[in-house]
Amino acid sequence: MRLAILLSGRGSNFQAIHEAIHETVQGGTLDAEIALVLSNRPDAQGIQRAREYGYDAHVIDHKTFANRAAHEEEVLRRLDAAHPDFIVLAGYMRLLSPSFVERWRNRILNIHPSLLPAFPGVDAQAQAVAYGVKVSGCTVHFVDEHLDAGPIIVQRTVPVHEDDDASTLAARILEQEHAAYVEALRKLARGYRIEGRRVVLSPPSS
Ligand code: GRF
């Protein structure tokens, strides 16, 4: 399973996937290869790490392109050349155009720090605290044309405590994000089909 990672910042989800591939973690290693890492931001911590690990890692800085379409065209060119099975959005802070989504339909994954469909968009953890929910979590889903809306692959829950603020909740959720992304990739590798909005995962072979 060849993966292309798109990120814009810290890159802790990318790191979790890297570790699952290269080390034995709980539940066994992840049988995958990171073929490409792209960042739209030159200062992203994640892209520095990717270079240290020796990955094919590139900055495609959106600020250096005339418009959104031109930037995306360059991203697509790199992706096409890497032949990934899945494009993994790991804190990638750019919206993808409908034609990008169509080109890679049901092969783009995203992780969002809430139990979708609750709290899409920015500051999901702050939204959860403000709303007063008692449980939150994270969602790994396929990307469609709408924000944080595609078919759900894996969700993990965490409790929300009385004294939580957005940052304490975010830290608790992030720990589950790292496990959830690896879990989702492992499950997809075993096979899946999509029925309407439902992702039907193949059971593990015994
Ligand atoms: C995560 O909270 C993820 O859910 C959201 O962006 C953050 C990325 O964190 N989409 P990192 O860059 O993987 O550390």
The pLDDT tens digits of the residues spanning 51-101 come to: 999 999 999 999 999 999 999 999 999 999 999 999 999 999 999 999 999
Distance of CA 7 to the CA centre of its chain: 8
CB 45 less than 6 A from any atom of ligand 1: no
pLDDT of 142 higher than 90 = yes
Q: How confident is the model at residue 26 (pLDDT cuts 50, 70, 90)?
A: low
Structure tokens at 37: 């890492």
Q: How confident is the model at residue 187 (pLDDT cuts 50, 70, 90)?
A: very high
Give, for ligand 1, the residue of 13, 41, 178 to mutate: max count of ligand atoms closer than 8 Å to Cβ: 13
Neighbour-count burial of 195, counting CB atoms closer than 10 A to its CB (0-12 exposed, 13-18 middle, 19+ buried): exposed
- Distance (Å) from CA 189 to ligand 1 centroid: 22
- Distance (Å) from CA 91 to ligand 1 centroid: 4
Rounded to whole angstroms, how far apart are CA atoms 149 and 118? Answer: 10
- Distance (Å) from CA 13 to ligand 1 centroid: 6
Q: How confident is the model at residue 45 (pLDDT cuts 50, 70, 90)?
A: very high
Q: How confident is the model at residue 23 (pLDDT cuts 50, 70, 90)?
A: confident
112 is an active site residue: yes
Rounded to whole angstroms, how far apart are CA atoms 27 and 45? Answer: 28
Tens digits of residue pLDDT in 112-125: 999 999 999 999 99
Q: What is the pLDDT of residue 28?
A: 61
pLDDT of 204 higher than 90 = no
pLDDT of 145 higher than 80 = yes
Rounded to whole angstroms, how far apart are CA atoms 100 and 52? Answer: 29
Q: What is the pLDDT of residue 25?
A: 60
Residue of 18, 71, 112, 178 with catalytic role: 112
Mean pLDDT of the chain: 96
Q: Which residue owns the Cα nearest ligand 1 atom 7?
A: 91
Give, for ligand 1, the residue of 119, 168, 174, 182 to mutate: max count of ligand atoms closer than 8 Å to Cβ: 174
- Could you tell me what percent of the chain has a pLDDT over 70? 97
In 3D space, the residue among 134, 141, 188 whose CA is nearest the CA of residue 157 turns out to be: 134
98 HSE (CA, 13 A, CB side): 2
